[in-house]
Amino acid sequence: MNVGVIGAGYVGLVTGACFAEFGVNVTCIDTNEGRITLLQKGVVPFYEPGLEELIRKNVNEGRLQFSNNTAESVKKSDVIFIAVGTPSLEDGSADLSYVDSVARTIAENLNGYKVIVTKSTVPVGTGERVRNIIQDIRNDGDFDIVSNPEFLREGSAIGDFMRPDRIVIGSGSERATSVMRDLYRPLYLIETPFITTDVETAEMIKYASNVFLAAKISFINEMANLCEKVGANVQVVSKAMGLDKRIGPKFLHAGPGYGGSCFPKDVRALLQIAESHGYDFKIARSVIEVNITQKDRMITKIEHALRGAGGKTIGILGLSFKPNTNDIRESPAVHIIEGLLDIGANIRVYDPVAMEDTKSVLGQRVTYCSDAYDTATNADAIILVTEWNQFRNLELERLKGLLKHPVFIDLRNVYEPDRMRKSGFDYYSVGRS
């Protein structure tokens, strides 16, 4: 079986490399010639643990290749995955212009039966939209449309693909469903649950999943804020909640709010989908509001701890929206830094992999440091924003000696308050006294 993956971004590259690892012949296609040139040299344009090694292995073994010739790749592929971006428009809806463009290119190059799969996160009705575009151009085309949403977490995407919680196949064709099951055959060996449904339901599953997880984060952050007011410990609250099997422990970690490329975009998109159908999705609206407010509350917390941040030098540990990725899209760290710069703070920053990406946003308005200790040097406070492993066991005495004032603001609740205070720090966290 020959597979084409159109879009060599995060989802497309992980999908292509992992299918190649399954033994399938895969071509990843992108119109960005520079990106394709880098990939052909074995260079991945973003950070994802293990991905570069997986790509090189499968390129060397002849199962994975890269191309910017979409027409040729469509013609030789049996299954075509659409994995292009669907960014937010100003009204929160998903921009489907890239999907539409790919659909037209596929239509122009149909040369036999194809299974066309939307892998990108797309609004309900996109599968039918793609079908109509293709049929308008090629009313004699032999193809089926499938929705196969991805559930990849940045930082652990390969494991998520190879050992998924479930595979969702949305299709109105037994023929296409059979092809997809064959493609995912290696997962039968590990008894992965398969959910087979119609295209529209599959499209909705992805939004429902992401918005629910975003809601869990917003809920625990609201609980953290209340815990601070009543003197309770949100970590103990969330642990006890998570032991209830109906709730579960994941996504119950209080902090500065969610970011990244998925949750913010998908919550906005679901809200817009609801509005376009005359439904006021109040929970989705509140999730967005709480998340924005939580990021702003962190700035207020920092100002309070420092008795005013204007003119102060502040060290920031972590820039990516989560560990094990260089993705800074809607990162709480960037939002907090922007807010602190607006009130006149001097900012020193360090992140293991996201420094270059941050420079494209913050430029020279901040000082880029070589490690956590360099970041703390002569700073009035150090703030832990992204919980990279290397920040979990800092040399506290060394850190304190480098700081101008021993103020440690832990926005991920990595350290124990009693230990930090016994070590001589003015310590602040989220939802704990």
Buried b (16+ CB within 10 A) or exposed e, 368-397: bbeebbebbbebbbbbbbbbbeebeebebe
Residue where the block lists tokens 């509350």? 297
- What is the reported pLDDT for 189? 87
Q: Do the first three CATH levels of 2-197 and 231-428 match, i.e. the same topology?
A: yes
Q: Give the start-to-end residue ranges of the domains of the chain.
A: 2-197, 231-428
262 catalytic per annotation: yes
The per-residue pLDDT for 240 is 98
Calpha distance 399→422 (Å, rounded): 14
Q: What is the pLDDT of residue 63?
A: 97
pTM: 0.92
Parallel, antiparallel, or unpaired for β 381-384 and 114-118?
unpaired
- Look up residue 295 and give its two tokens: 């990021």
Q: Which residues of the chain have pLDDT under 70?
A: none
CA separation for the pair 109, 103 (Å, rounded): 10
Q: Which fold has domain 231-428?
A: Rossmann fold (3.40.50)
Using DSSP bridges, classify how beta strands 346-350 and 313-317 pair: parallel, antiparallel or unpaired.
Answer: parallel
Residue-level pLDDT at 169: 98
Specify the CATH architecture of the domain 2-197. 3-Layer(aba) Sandwich (3.40)
383 near 317, Cβ under 8 Å? yes
Q: What is the CA radius of gyration of the chain?
A: 23
Using one digit for the tens of pLDDT, what is the confidence trace for 304-349?
Answer: 999 999 999 999 999 999 999 999 999 999 999 999 999 999 999 9
Query: Pick the catalytic residue: 18, 28, 227, 262?
Result: 262
pLDDT tens sequence across 106-142: 999 999 999 999 998 899 999 999 999 999 999 898 9
Considering only CA atoms, which of 84, 100, 68 is closest in space to residue 10?
84
* 210 alpha carbon, distance to own chain's centre: 10
Which pLDDT belongs to residue 42?
Answer: 87
pLDDT value of position 124: 93
d(CA 366, CA 54): 35
Strand order in 64-67's β-sheet? Answer: 64-67, 25-29, 2-6, 79-82, 114-118, 143-147, 167-171, 194-197
